[in-house]
Structure formats: C-alpha cells, structure tokens
Amino acid sequence: MKLFAVDGLPEVRPGDDLSAMIDGQADLREGDVVCVSHTVVSKAEGRTADLDEFEAGERARGVAARIGDLAGEEKDPRFAQAVIEESDRLLTEEPLLLAVTHFGHVAVNAGIDRSNVPGAELLLLPADPAASAERLHEALGVPAVVTDTSGRPFRYGQRGVAIGWAGIPAARDWRGERDRHGRELGVTVEAVVDELAAAANLLTGEGDDGLPVVVVRDFAFGDHDGSDALFRDPDDDYVQDALEQWSFDPGRLAAKGESEGENEHADRDGDPTGDSGGEAP
C-alpha cells in the first residue's frame, strides 16, 4: 500500500467543484481510496460562519463564563452558542465543550475550527459528511473518506479519524475467522476508515502544509464481511453515559494526583530495587 498527497490544489472557496479540482490534480486508478480533509469539503459547501451570526443564549453565556473562570481569561459566549447549535447534545460543559454532532461524531467544540479560514471566523464540519463522501465517490469513481482530527480518550495528542465515507465499508469484521493458532475471533472489528484517515493525516499535516487530499493506492479490504457501524449508539455507549453523569471537580483531580504521587514515592522508598517481589541485597 502506498499513500501520496495531491499537490497543486488551489484555495477552495464556497461553491467550488471539489471533485473536479481533485480529479484535475490526481491520476486516480481503480483500487484507490481518496481521503479528503473536511476543511476543504466544508469550504466548498459554504460551511463558514462569523461569530456575529450566533446570538448567545442563557446557556451559552453560562458555559462561556464558567470555562473562562477556569481558564483565567474571557471566553466569547457566541462561540459557545455556535457549538451548542452544531451539537445534538453536550457530554461535558466544563472544563471543555465535548459535543456529539448531529451525525454522531464526538468532538471538542463540535469540531468547529478557527484556523485556515480566510474571510471568516469559524469553519464548521460538513452538515452531512456521509453525503459529502458519497458525492465525491460518485464523481471520482473511487471510494472516498472525509477526515478530521480529534483527541483520543486516555492518550495525549490527536490523530486523523473518518467522519464520512462512501464506496468502502467503515470496518472489516474478523469475527468468526481464525487466528494463526486456529482460535476463533469473537470481538475483532477493525475500523479501517479511521486507520486510513490516520495514515493520511501523516501527509496532510496540521498547519500550513496545504495538502488536504491524500490518495491511498493498493489498499486491499480483503475477503472479510464489512460493517458501516462506526459511531456508537448512545444506548450502549458506557463512556457517553458516564460523561453525562460526571461533574468537573479540579480539586478532586488535584488531590488524586497528589495521592498517587505520594503512593509512588512510598513504593520507591520501601523498595529500593524497584522490584516489589523481592528484598534488596
């Protein structure tokens, strides 16, 4: 499998035929998958906005005030209102806005971007990334994945993820197949569109690279069952359920960190070898 970024794409503006722009710069072949950053998809679809377009309601003003107090700086309630309007619901309101978008993606600030948006203050996610991917797929004749970047629970840093796809299943299902030792796989469902998005993000970059489109060549889905289930249903998502019941308490977190630090220090003092299973010589 090979990946390469598509060079030479101009600045995308509302109303541009993005598929024609890609087709004009990329020599696409059968078996290719095109990964397209949502940034240019959103621009072509006119998904830009200014803060003045959002009149902050009572909830947005309260959210901005609380986050501003925690951050030690004033926060614009109009931005909070934009996030609320772009969300199906908010999982957390402090210390950050963690939102479930209308199409099921979970992202900080509903994925609203404030960088690389010439002529506007905000760049919103596509209203329907699946439909966006379908249009690209039909026009280009190859599978298409619309990508974004987001953080990951339990880890620092961001990676590319798929928010819309067409012409390829979201996941390949290994359940019922056998491993090298003949054991039947019972739970493995591989989110291939996320993996392709993450690989593409290594080439698109995060700053001023200007490379929003990556072609994946010679990717083989293989002889596996496919699935389009990627966004978890809230009814069986334990993490979403826990977050909706959680409340932010910086004092609790600080005390937990201090306690864990003291325990670690005590363990080291009590066991100078670092080996809890034996005594020091």
- What pLDDT tens digit does each residue of the chain (281 aa) get? 999 999 999 999 999 999 999 999 999 999 999 999 999 999 999 999 999 999 999 999 999 999 999 999 999 999 999 999 999 999 999 999 999 999 999 999 999 998 878 889 999 999 999 999 999 999 999 999 999 999 988 899 999 999 999 999 999 875 555 677 777 566 577 899 999 999 999 999 765 567 999 999 999 888 877 888 889 899 999 999 999 999 998 888 788 877 766 555 555 555 433 333 333 32
Cβ within 8 Å of residue 194, ≥6 positions away? 160, 161, 162, 230
- Residue 5 shares a structural domain with residue 131: yes
Domain match, 38 and 69 both: no
All residues at 6 or more sequence positions from 61 whose CB lies less than 8 Å from its CB, including other chains? 77, 80
**Cis peptide, bond prior to residue 14, ω within 30 of zero:** no
Cβ(122)–Cβ(112) under 8 Å? yes
32 with 130, same domain: the answer is yes
Check which CATH number belongs to the domain holding 17 and give it: 3.30.1330.100
**List of residues 6+ apart from 228 with CB closer than 8 A:** 165, 169, 170, 171
- Find, among 216, 195, 221, 148, the residue nearest to 4 by Cα: 216
Any domain includes 74: yes
105 and 223 in a single domain? The answer is no
pLDDT at 176: 57
Sequence-separated (6 or more) residues with CB below 8 Å from residue 186:
175
Residue owning tokens 């024609």: 20
What 3-state class would DSSP assign to 52? helix
Please state the pTM of the whole predicted model. Answer: 0.87
Assigned domain for 278 exists: no
What's the first-to-final CA gap in the chain, in angstroms? Answer: 53
Q: What is the CATH number of the domain that holds 104?
A: 3.90.1660.10
φ, ψ dihedrals at 91, nearest 5°? -80, -35
5 and 52 belong to one structural domain: no
Any domain includes 271? no
- Which residues span the domain enclosing 218? 1-45+126-231
Alpha-helical (H) ranges within the chain are: 18-25, 38-44, 58-71, 77-85, 129-140, 192-204, 238-245, 250-270
Q: Angle CA(225)–CA(230)–CA(236) in degrees, nearest 5? A: 110
- Is 118 within a domain? yes
Which pLDDT belongs to residue 112?
97
Residue 176 forms part of a structural domain: yes
Asked whether residue 160 falls in the same domain as residue 197, the answer is yes
Task: Check: CB of residue 84 under 8 Å from CB of residue 58.
Answer: no
135 and 227 part of one domain: yes
In a domain, 272, yes or no: no
b/e per residue, 49-63, with b = 16+ CB within 10 A?
A: bebeebebeeebeeb
